[in-house]
Amino acid sequence: MNPRISLPALRGALRPSLKGQLGNGWVYQSCRANSQPWATFSSSRRSLEKPYYITTPIFYVNAAPHIGHLYTMVLTDILKRWQVLRGKRAILCTGTDEHGMKIQQAAAQAKTPPKEFCDLTAETFKTLAKRAGLSNDHFVRTTDEDHKEAVQYFWHMLKEREYIYESKHKGWYCVSDETYYPESAIEKRLDPLTGRTFMASQETGKEVEWTSEANYHFRLSAFQDRLLEFYRANPNFVVPVSRMHDVVRWVSEGLEDLSISRPVERLTWGIRVPDDESQTIYVWLDALINYITKAGYPWAPGQEHALGWPADVQVIGKDIVRFHCIYWPAFLLALDIQAPKQILTHAHWTLGHQKMAKSTGNVVNPFFAIDRYGVDAMRYYLAHDGGITDDSDYGNQFVVERYKKGLQGGLGNLVSRITRPKIWNVQDAVQAARDGKLEKVDPSMEGQIIMLEELPQKVSAKMEELNPGAALQKIMDAVYETNRFLQLNEPWALAKAIKEGDLNRGMAAQLRTKIDCIVYHCAEATRIIGILLQPYMPTKAAQLLDMLGVDESKRMFDDAKLGADYNYGTPKTPVGRDAWEGLFPPLPVDT
């Protein structure tokens, strides 16, 4: 192999056209046999390491996105940016789920061809990702050609290993959830608005209908013991632990084989079953494979990890736990593919304490919210108030409250109080610390010093738990504590005493040293906080660090230590003169 061959070219060699190639002479096998590891032409040790790989779920395009989709994007992006802050290569994959009966029905209702319908809505999700500041490396669409080929190859391998069989299926099918439910998971419900009774899924409350059809099945029941063994070996596979317990309980109660295709006469919009044009592949089998599509599946020997697989974290909403935490690892186990390391399942956002749902219109438009409050303020609010275990109720008044208290009155106020006064100079205080003039620590500084020394690891510990909200609380506690420290020590009063008091030279020098000590430890707090906030508010954190004059090369996690940088203090951007020119200016009156 030519060592100068590009990665896209190699990927292309692994993805020839599949037309007419789905029989026993499967084309990928010969490609694999002749492929060499990419490490052959990589000289960088870092490039040989498996990248950190994180994914959002792919979002269903039957309707426009709401604030819940934005939350998932932001949560995932914070975790990815945190890894980059730690100096790791990281890959974020997001995208859209574009097949299935709901799409077929929505497109028909819109009187639009399915692909055209998907193109329009997928573009809306792409725009949201861009507006949200999502640092995604991939945007996968299940209508992409490389994804179709990966799905058909995956199917072929499942069938080759005899995990797929044909059978007639009878059962309760939910169009909204795109899944069959066993009799034990169904209950009768009453629609309070119409008085109509209907059968519904106990888990989601969505209506089900009795169907009977011939299709293909996956031998999910054969994986009960293997899944339970996998969960025992990976007790932190599902976060939070309460949902891990749910998953183990569901599997322990028994698994039925899974219907993984639909007759074409019922579902035309999807990927056809290889060698059987009368069947369309089940949307959830199709959708889940997207995570390995962009990780380079099918892989050449030795290349399974080159583009990040197994995923380090997959972020999903709690309503799709069963698919991601039972079906997905079972599919992967069937082909001896490593399952993702962890799946972070977050709670929902409610509106008026009712679940947000595209079907009911009880949603918040994320574009309007970003336009109204700004992307960084919305990222902050969603991370701060968003739930992992418990649902959170969205409200404009809560956004305003968080902005005024945490951002404007907390962080913005701290930056202004440190950088604007003419009676001291941040750079002088930093230089005094560098020159060892502040070594004799006043006892009143000890608490601030301990807090700053402990802060990075406290934040890191919460991030390791996949709890960005709790990590943000630690950062904001440091903001409030530093404001209290500044207020308690009153450097402005000391400066006034020097200016107006009848002090000898020695006393004046002592007070000036104390001012520098106070200002330095507040500036250090602001610098460290700014570094740690970069995954949450990339633009505002960068502006904060520019106001302090922190060099771009000194903004990594290892720099977020007390005394790690003695070369800042001269602003790179104006610090402003009043509240309207601050880091977080007052919100417009109409908000």
| Overall average pLDDT of the 14-18 stretch | 42
**C-alpha pair distances (Å), 120 with each of 35, 368, 369, 401, 484:** 38, 19, 21, 35, 51
Mean pLDDT in residue range 8-31 = 41
431 CB neighbour count, 10 Å cutoff? 16
Q: Looking at residue 544, what is its pLDDT?
A: 98
The predicted-structure confidence for 132-184, as pLDDT tens digits, reads as follows 999 999 999 999 999 999 999 999 999 999 999 998 766 777 776 667 777 77
- CA within 13 Å, CB half, 520: 29
pTM: 0.87
Kindly indicate the confidence band of residue 6, based on its pLDDT and cuts at 50, 70 and 90: very low
Cα 464 to Cα 313: distance, rounded to the nearest angstrom:
11
Q: For 38-42, 114-118, 497-501, 533-537, which range has the lowest pLDDT when averaged over its residues?
A: 38-42
Instruction: Give the confidence band of 21 by pLDDT, cuts at 50, 70, 90.
Output: very low
Q: Give yes or no for a contact between 431 and 566, defined as CB atoms under 8 angstroms apart.
A: yes
**Residue 47 pLDDT grade (very low, low, confident, very high; cuts 50, 70, 90):** low
- Residue 20 above 50 pLDDT? no
Higher pLDDT residue, 508 or 450? 450
State the pLDDT at residue 536: 98
- The structure tokens 């006469």 sit at 265
Tell me which of 193-202, 343-352, 422-431 is least confident.
Answer: 193-202
**Confidence check: pLDDT of 5 > 80:** no
Confidence check: pLDDT of 286 > 50: yes
Checking 435-444 for CB contacts under 8 A at 24+ apart, the result is 437/513, 437/516, 438/513, 438/516, 438/517, 438/520, 441/517, 442/514, 442/517, 444/488, 444/489
Distance CA 54, CA 472 (A): 20
C-alpha span between 301 and 512 (Å, rounded): 66
Q: Is the pLDDT of residue 374 over 70?
A: yes
**How many angstroms separate the CA atoms of 99 and 272, rounded?**
11
The mean of the pLDDT values for the chain is 89
Structure tokens given for 411: 């962080």
Buried b (16+ CB within 10 A) or exposed e, 30-44: ebeeebeebeeeeee
Classified as helix, coil or strand, 564 is coil
Instruction: Give me the percent of the chain exceeding a pLDDT of 70.
Output: 90
> What is the per-residue pLDDT for 1?
37
Kindly tell me if the per-residue pLDDT of 48 is higher than 90.
no
- pLDDT > 90? residue 290: yes
CA atoms in the 13 A half-sphere facing the CB of 569: 20
Amino acid at 543: Q
* DSSP, residue by residue, 10-52: HHHHT----TT--SSS-HHHHHHHT---GGGG---HHHHSPPE
Check residue 183 and give its pLDDT.
76
pLDDT of residue 591: 59
Count Cβ atoms within 10 A of the Cβ of residue 425 and give its class: 0-12 exposed, 13-18 middle, 19 or more buried: middle
Distances in Å between the Cα of 475 and the Cα atoms of 125, 213, 527, 532, 582 are: 30, 56, 12, 7, 20
Residue 11 pLDDT > 70: no
The pLDDT of residue 178: 67
Query: ω into residue 585 within 30 of 0, thus cis?
Result: no
Q: Is the pLDDT of residue 29 over 70?
A: no
pLDDT score at 2:
38
425 phi-psi bin (left φ>0, alpha ψ -120 to 50, beta other): beta
**Domains along the chain?**
396-581 (1.10.730.10)
What pLDDT score does 39 carry? 32
> In this predicted model, which residue has the larger pLDDT, 48 or 138?
138
Helix (H) or strand (E) holding 139: strand 138-141
The four Cα atoms 264, 96, 387, 128 give a dihedral, to 10 degrees, of -150
Report the C-alpha gap between 169 and 172 in whole angstroms: 10
CB atoms within 10 A of CB 212: 9
